[in-house]
Amino acid sequence: MADASAAFKAVREKVDDYFTRCKLAAFDIRALSAMNRQQEEYIAFADKNLSPMLEETSGFPLAQVDVGKALPLKAGINPAWMTAMADFDKAVVCPLLGEKESIEETEWRGINSAFTSHEAWLARKPGAAMDNLGVERVREILAGAAREAIAELIAQDKALEPEFSNITSVDRLVRYYRDLFTLLNNFVSFSDFYTRKEKAVFQAGTLYLDGRSCDLCVRVGDMDKHATLAALSRIYLTYCDCTRRGGTDKMTIAAAVTGGDSDFLMVGRNGVFYDRQGQDWDATIVKVIEHPISIRQAFWSPYKRMGKMIGNQIHKFASAREKAVTGKAEAGIATAAHKAEAAKPAPPPFDVGKFAGIFAAIGLALGALGTALAAIFTGFLKLLWWQMPLVIAGLMLIISLPSMLIAWLKLRQRNLGPILDANGWAVNARCRINVAFGGSLTKVAALPTGSVRKLEDPYADKKSPWPRIILLVLIILALLWVLNQRGLLCRWTSVIFG
């Protein structure tokens, strides 16, 4: 049976190919020529010395393809497959179908089905692994004392079962002693994180970015999924893609920024990340979740937003003016030739009333603005000297207090839990991060002890004295105007000059 199975497997794919080609020819007679290969393919090796097996045609059909044609077994076979087909005829066809010159597709299906059942039986046959040993080796093993020796070894192992169980229990206890305490300190009490003596197990390393170092960094698998839940932590987070220079290793981290400001924390900024093994990674910010960082940042944020808004408006105004001037210049160049040829029209008469109205409106606006500023400045100067800084401080508080209040409320709500929950930790308790502890998680760059900052720049541009002089003159003029409005200037001059 083994020989018949080997002979069948040797020609199975080729016989399937032959009957499939015959079906294609029956489907469309135009495919018949292509199924039998073209003459040029024979010409390609016709000038060579061909072997009896004719390996050059092994990829050609098993026999000449035709509509409804049976597969010949003896004559008209591809020379490269003659030996294999002879073994198939002798070992398979003759025992199953008797002596035949050819077989039909239905007969081939019956043979295929028989061997498919045989292969399924071989796969289920018990002891199939023993077939490779051979009959003689199996008999030798059965006649020997191997069974008794194996049974004795099993009995010896069974006798040591209590001792092995005790060893397993001690091993488990040692692992509990080594790892359970660490687990409790990092998952239940978080003492490793709050004592700051060493990094907690979830801290992936330290990120150095924008003049500060961030110690609360966690590895992230899915950044978008993590950010959805981590935003509830009320912590300013920067997501960074980290890559090893010269390698293919990559990872994503989420770093908590709890010190400094956020003026230059933006997508695209680069930094350096050191993992727990001391390896350095190139880090690039790819996502930012904005929350208040500190009360000091909240105090200055309204002024920064106001300055940014003014800068944007100036930039937009300058861009619009530049675009308008450029458009007018292009239009003027395009129409210069036409204007040169056309007669110059008479200028329109000067409308005094129109320009007088414009100047009056501008003067009225400037007067109103000047009156308001003068009233404010006059009221400010009427204050005692010690009241002036209090008024300035009060105005600054009125502007900054809402931002500071919102920041104070959010800073009290900072929680480590959502960051760990987003990584699958299932932390139920609130792990608060107050202002003082948050300051220890992010260290802002500072001058070393004993160092002195040198503010003199030998290459600095020379400053013009005129801005200061103009400012001083304006202050003096404003002071004189206020004194004149209050009648003090006339009184002093009359006393001095008699």
Average pLDDT over residues 389-417: 81
Model confidence at 90: pLDDT above 90: no
356 within domain boundaries = no
- Point out the domain boundary residue: 444, 462, 484: 444
Q: Same domain for 6 and 123?
A: yes
Structure tokens at 249: 């290793």
Q: Same domain for 96 and 198?
A: no
Model confidence at 359: pLDDT above 60: no
The answer to whether 18 touches 135, Cβ cutoff 8 Å, is no
Residue 8's pLDDT band, with cuts at 50, 70 and 90, is confident
Residue 31's pLDDT band, with cuts at 50, 70 and 90, is confident
Q: Rounded to whole angstroms, how far apart are CA atoms 260 and 427?
A: 28
325 within domain boundaries = no
The answer to whether 242 touches 214, Cβ cutoff 8 Å, is no
Q: Same domain for 114 and 216?
A: no
Q: Same domain for 420 and 286?
A: yes
Model confidence at 56: pLDDT above 80: no
Query: What pLDDT was estimated at residue 126?
Result: 61
Average pLDDT over residues 11-17: 87
Sign, CA dihedral 166-171-172-174, equals: positive
Query: What pLDDT was estimated at residue 358?
Result: 59
The answer to whether 238 touches 254, Cβ cutoff 8 Å, is yes
Average pLDDT over residues 363-369: 63
The answer to whether 60 touches 35, Cβ cutoff 8 Å, is no
48 within domain boundaries = yes
Region for residue 487 given its phi and psi (left: phi exceeds 0; alpha: psi -120 to 50; beta: otherwise): left
Q: Rounded to whole angstroms, how far apart are CA atoms 488 and 474?
A: 19
Region for residue 214 given its phi and psi (left: phi exceeds 0; alpha: psi -120 to 50; beta: otherwise): beta
Query: What pLDDT was estimated at residue 368?
Result: 67
pLDDT for 418-451, tens place per residue?
999 998 888 767 788 888 888 889 988 877 777 7
* 3-state SS class at 256: strand
385 within domain boundaries = no
Which residue bears the tokens 């190919």? 17
Average pLDDT along the chain: 81
Residue 341's pLDDT band, with cuts at 50, 70 and 90, is low
Q: Same domain for 23 and 99?
A: yes
Q: Same domain for 206 and 127?
A: no
The three-state (H, E, C) secondary structure of 353-411, written as one string: HHHHHHHHHHHHHHHHHHHHHHHHHHHHHCCCCCHHHHHHHHHHHHHHHHHHHHHHHHH
347 within domain boundaries = no
Residue 206's pLDDT band, with cuts at 50, 70 and 90, is very high
Q: Same domain for 208 and 108?
A: no
Q: Same domain for 96 and 201?
A: no
* 3-state SS class at 310: helix
Q: Same domain for 107 and 6?
A: yes
Q: Same domain for 86 and 199?
A: no
Average pLDDT over residues 96-111: 87
399 within domain boundaries = no
Q: Same domain for 219 and 103?
A: no
20 within domain boundaries = yes
374 within domain boundaries = no
Cβ neighbours for 184, distance < 8 A, ≥ 6 positions apart = none
Number of domains in the chain: 2
Q: Rounded to whole angstroms, how far apart are CA atoms 185 and 381?
A: 62
pLDDT for 107-144, tens place per residue?
888 888 888 877 777 666 666 566 677 778 878 877 88
Q: Same domain for 275 and 424?
A: yes
pLDDT for 62-88, tens place per residue?
888 888 888 888 888 888 888 888 888
* Of 250, 231, 232, 244, nearest in space to 288 by CA: 231
Q: Which domain holds residue 421?
A: 194-291+414-444
